[in-house]
Amino acid sequence: MSMSKSSKMLQYINYRMRVTILDSRQLIEKFMAFDSHMNLVLGDCEEFRKQPPTKGSKEEREDRRTLGPVLLRGEEPWAKPSQASR
């Protein structure tokens, strides 16, 4: 018996997930809802992005921002949920 895409997504509702979007930003959030276009509603969202090293340093730094609730369009995430946990 095969599962439809929506029933596979339903099992992750209320899980905290890490989603990587096209510009390599990562969002860690609580997955709250989705629709037929695969638009995602995310709650308690935090964004992480890598910054190039500054002139005096050789290390990349990672910036973190708290975003709160986010609506991610279905075409934006090349959203592979890389992690899921309750």
Q: Note the pLDDT tens digit of each residue in 39-74.
A: 889 999 999 998 888 888 778 888 999 999 999 887
- The DSSP annotation for 10-71 comes to HTTTT-EEEEE-TTS-EEEEEEEEE-TT--EEEEEEEEEEEEPPPTT--S-EEEEEEEEEEE
Instruction: Please give the pLDDT value at position 53.
Output: 82
Q: How distant, in Å, are the alpha carbons of 62, 76, 86 from that of 59?
A: 10, 29, 32
> Which of 24-28, 33-37, 71-75 is predicted least confidently?
71-75
Q: Residue 51: give the domain boundaries.
A: 5-85
Q: How many domains does the chain have?
A: 1
What whole-number distance in Å separates Cα of residue 6 and Cα of residue 4? 5
We report the CATH number of the domain holding residue 78 as: 2.30.30.100
Q: Is the pLDDT of residue 3 over 70?
A: no
Mean pLDDT of 23-37: 88
The per-residue pLDDT of the chain, averaged, comes to 81
Query: pTM, whole model, 2 decimals?
Result: 0.69
Q: Is the pLDDT of residue 79 over 90?
A: no
